[in-house]
Protein backbone atom coordinates (compact mmCIF):
# COMPACT_ATOMS: atom_id res chain seq x y z
CA UNK A 1 0.00 0.00 0.00
CA UNK A 2 2.86 2.35 0.82
CA UNK A 3 4.45 1.71 -2.58
CA UNK A 4 1.20 2.68 -4.33
CA UNK A 5 1.11 5.94 -2.40
CA UNK A 6 4.74 6.65 -3.31
CA UNK A 7 4.03 5.83 -6.95
CA UNK A 8 1.02 8.18 -7.05
CA UNK A 9 3.02 10.97 -5.41
CA UNK A 10 5.79 10.55 -8.01
CA UNK A 11 3.28 10.73 -10.82
CA UNK A 12 1.71 13.84 -9.32
CA UNK A 13 5.03 15.59 -8.78
CA UNK A 14 6.36 14.76 -12.24
CA UNK A 15 3.38 16.28 -14.11
CA UNK A 16 3.07 13.05 -16.08
CA UNK A 17 -0.40 12.64 -14.58
CA UNK A 18 -1.82 15.04 -17.19
CA UNK A 19 -0.36 12.92 -19.99
CA UNK A 20 -1.86 9.80 -18.41
CA UNK A 21 -5.22 11.52 -17.99
CA UNK A 22 -5.20 12.76 -21.58
CA UNK A 23 -4.34 9.27 -22.82
CA UNK A 24 -7.19 7.80 -20.75
CA UNK A 25 -9.63 10.39 -22.12
CA UNK A 26 -8.53 9.58 -25.66
CA UNK A 27 -8.90 5.86 -24.98
CA UNK A 28 -12.41 6.40 -23.57
CA UNK A 29 -13.37 8.38 -26.69
CA UNK A 30 -11.96 5.80 -29.12
CA UNK A 31 -13.63 2.90 -27.28
CA UNK A 32 -16.95 4.66 -27.73
CA UNK A 33 -16.27 5.28 -31.43
CA UNK A 34 -15.34 1.62 -31.95
CA UNK A 35 -18.60 0.40 -30.40
CA UNK A 36 -20.91 2.84 -32.19
CA UNK A 37 -21.61 0.44 -35.11
CA UNK A 38 -22.30 -2.51 -32.78
CA UNK A 39 -25.92 -3.58 -33.02
CA UNK A 40 -27.78 -3.40 -29.72
CA UNK A 41 -30.88 -5.12 -28.35
CA UNK A 42 -33.16 -6.02 -31.25
CA UNK A 43 -36.44 -5.32 -29.41
CA UNK A 44 -35.43 -1.75 -28.62
CA UNK A 45 -34.15 -1.29 -32.14
CA UNK A 46 -37.56 -2.20 -33.52
CA UNK A 47 -39.42 0.17 -31.19
CA UNK A 48 -36.99 3.03 -31.89
CA UNK A 49 -37.52 2.50 -35.61
CA UNK A 50 -41.30 2.40 -35.11
CA UNK A 51 -41.18 5.64 -33.15
CA UNK A 52 -38.97 7.24 -35.82
CA UNK A 53 -41.50 6.25 -38.49
CA UNK A 54 -44.38 7.56 -36.34
CA UNK A 55 -42.46 10.76 -35.75
CA UNK A 56 -42.14 11.39 -39.47
CA UNK A 57 -45.82 10.45 -39.92
CA UNK A 58 -47.34 12.56 -37.11
CA UNK A 59 -44.66 15.19 -36.49
CA UNK A 60 -43.44 16.49 -33.17
CA UNK A 61 -46.72 18.14 -32.18
CA UNK A 62 -49.02 15.13 -32.67
CA UNK A 63 -46.58 12.36 -31.76
CA UNK A 64 -47.75 11.68 -28.20
CA UNK A 65 -51.43 11.89 -29.19
CA UNK A 66 -51.06 9.02 -31.64
CA UNK A 67 -48.18 6.91 -30.33
CA UNK A 68 -47.71 4.87 -27.18
CA UNK A 69 -44.28 6.21 -26.22
CA UNK A 70 -43.05 6.22 -22.64
CA UNK A 71 -39.90 8.26 -23.30
CA UNK A 72 -39.40 11.92 -22.46
CA UNK A 73 -40.10 14.52 -25.17
CA UNK A 74 -36.42 15.41 -25.16
CA UNK A 75 -35.63 11.92 -26.48
CA UNK A 76 -38.17 12.34 -29.27
CA UNK A 77 -36.32 15.47 -30.43
CA UNK A 78 -33.06 13.52 -30.40
CA UNK A 79 -34.74 10.70 -32.31
CA UNK A 80 -35.70 13.22 -34.98
CA UNK A 81 -32.10 14.46 -35.04
CA UNK A 82 -30.92 10.85 -35.40
CA UNK A 83 -33.05 10.30 -38.48
CA UNK A 84 -31.70 13.52 -40.02
CA UNK A 85 -28.03 12.52 -39.66
CA UNK A 86 -28.40 8.99 -41.06
CA UNK A 87 -27.47 9.99 -44.65
CA UNK A 88 -24.34 11.73 -43.34
CA UNK A 89 -23.35 8.66 -41.35
CA UNK A 90 -23.88 6.36 -44.31
CA UNK A 91 -21.61 8.62 -46.35
CA UNK A 92 -18.78 8.13 -43.83
CA UNK A 93 -18.53 4.39 -44.45
CA UNK A 94 -20.53 2.70 -47.19
CA UNK A 95 -19.54 -0.72 -45.80
CA UNK A 96 -21.87 -0.25 -42.82
CA UNK A 97 -25.22 -1.99 -43.13
CA UNK A 98 -28.41 0.06 -42.89
CA UNK A 99 -28.99 -1.32 -39.39
CA UNK A 100 -25.51 -0.19 -38.31
CA UNK A 101 -26.12 3.29 -39.74
CA UNK A 102 -29.38 3.54 -37.80
CA UNK A 103 -27.75 2.30 -34.58
CA UNK A 104 -24.89 4.77 -34.99
CA UNK A 105 -27.40 7.58 -35.46
CA UNK A 106 -29.23 6.50 -32.28
CA UNK A 107 -26.00 6.22 -30.29
CA UNK A 108 -24.37 9.43 -31.58
CA UNK A 109 -26.38 11.79 -29.33
CA UNK A 110 -25.50 9.47 -26.44
CA UNK A 111 -21.81 9.85 -27.32
CA UNK A 112 -22.06 13.64 -27.28
CA UNK A 113 -24.03 13.63 -24.02
CA UNK A 114 -21.59 11.15 -22.48
CA UNK A 115 -18.58 13.34 -23.22
CA UNK A 116 -20.39 16.48 -22.05
CA UNK A 117 -21.38 14.69 -18.85
CA UNK A 118 -17.73 13.86 -18.18
CA UNK A 119 -16.79 17.50 -18.83
CA UNK A 120 -19.43 18.92 -16.48
CA UNK A 121 -18.58 16.29 -13.89
CA UNK A 122 -14.99 17.52 -14.08
CA UNK A 123 -16.18 21.12 -13.66
CA UNK A 124 -18.48 20.22 -10.77
CA UNK A 125 -15.73 18.41 -8.86
CA UNK A 126 -13.09 21.01 -9.71
CA UNK A 127 -15.26 23.97 -8.66
CA UNK A 128 -16.29 22.17 -5.47
CA UNK A 129 -12.79 21.06 -4.42
CA UNK A 130 -10.49 23.49 -6.29
CA UNK A 131 -8.54 20.41 -7.41
CA UNK A 132 -8.21 19.90 -11.18
CA UNK A 133 -6.60 16.50 -10.77
CA UNK A 134 -9.49 15.23 -8.66
CA UNK A 135 -11.96 16.60 -11.20
CA UNK A 136 -10.12 14.88 -14.03
CA UNK A 137 -10.10 11.57 -12.17
CA UNK A 138 -13.83 11.94 -11.52
CA UNK A 139 -14.40 12.32 -15.27
CA UNK A 140 -12.15 9.31 -15.97
CA UNK A 141 -14.02 7.14 -13.47
CA UNK A 142 -17.29 8.13 -15.09
CA UNK A 143 -16.03 7.44 -18.62
CA UNK A 144 -14.67 4.00 -17.66
CA UNK A 145 -17.67 2.98 -15.58
CA UNK A 146 -18.65 -0.32 -17.23
CA UNK A 147 -22.39 -0.03 -16.49
CA UNK A 148 -23.24 3.04 -18.61
CA UNK A 149 -20.67 2.04 -21.23
CA UNK A 150 -22.18 -1.41 -21.72
CA UNK A 151 -25.73 -0.14 -21.43
CA UNK A 152 -25.18 2.52 -24.10
CA UNK A 153 -22.56 1.31 -26.57
CA UNK A 154 -23.12 -2.44 -26.46
CA UNK A 155 -26.75 -2.92 -25.44
CA UNK A 156 -27.96 0.23 -27.20
CA UNK A 157 -29.90 1.99 -24.44
CA UNK A 158 -29.98 5.76 -24.06
CA UNK A 159 -30.06 6.28 -20.30
CA UNK A 160 -26.92 8.44 -20.50
CA UNK A 161 -29.09 11.15 -22.03
CA UNK A 162 -30.41 11.84 -18.52
CA UNK A 163 -26.97 11.93 -16.88
CA UNK A 164 -25.97 15.22 -18.50
CA UNK A 165 -29.00 17.22 -17.32
CA UNK A 166 -28.60 15.70 -13.85
CA UNK A 167 -24.91 16.68 -13.55
CA UNK A 168 -25.66 20.03 -15.19
CA UNK A 169 -28.43 20.62 -12.63
CA UNK A 170 -26.06 19.90 -9.74
CA UNK A 171 -23.32 22.03 -11.26
CA UNK A 172 -25.55 25.03 -11.99
CA UNK A 173 -27.12 24.87 -8.53
CA UNK A 174 -23.67 24.77 -6.91
CA UNK A 175 -22.70 27.85 -8.95
CA UNK A 176 -25.98 29.59 -8.06
CA UNK A 177 -26.96 29.79 -11.73
CA UNK A 178 -30.63 29.25 -11.26
CA UNK A 179 -31.72 29.81 -14.87
CA UNK A 180 -29.29 27.12 -15.96
CA UNK A 181 -30.64 24.88 -13.21
CA UNK A 182 -34.17 25.49 -14.44
CA UNK A 183 -33.12 24.62 -17.99
CA UNK A 184 -31.45 21.41 -16.76
CA UNK A 185 -34.53 20.48 -14.77
CA UNK A 186 -36.73 21.11 -17.82
CA UNK A 187 -34.58 18.67 -19.82
CA UNK A 188 -35.12 16.04 -17.15
CA UNK A 189 -38.90 16.36 -17.26
Q: Classify residue 90 as exposed, middle or buried by CB count within 10 Å of its CB (0-12, 13-18, 19+).
A: middle
Within 8 A by CB and 6+ apart from 63, the residues are 54, 55, 69, 76
* pLDDT for the residue 146: 93
pLDDT tens for the chain, 189 residues long, are: 677 666 666 656 556 767 877 888 889 999 999 988 888 887 878 888 888 888 888 888 888 888 888 888 888 888 888 889 999 998 888 888 888 998 889 899 999 999 999 999 999 999 999 988 888 889 999 999 999 999 888 887 888 888 999 999 999 999 999 998 998 888 887
Cβ(28)–Cβ(119) below 8 Å = no
Distance between CA atoms of 13 and 11, rounded to whole angstroms? Answer: 6
pTM of the model: 0.82
Q: Classify residue 79 as exposed, middle or buried by CB count within 10 Å of its CB (0-12, 13-18, 19+).
A: buried
Amino acid sequence: MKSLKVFLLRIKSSKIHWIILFALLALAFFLRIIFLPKLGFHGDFQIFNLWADDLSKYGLTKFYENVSCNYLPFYVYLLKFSTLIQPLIHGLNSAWTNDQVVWISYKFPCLIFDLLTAYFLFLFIFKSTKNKLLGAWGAIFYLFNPAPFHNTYIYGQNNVLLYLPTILLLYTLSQKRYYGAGFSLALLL
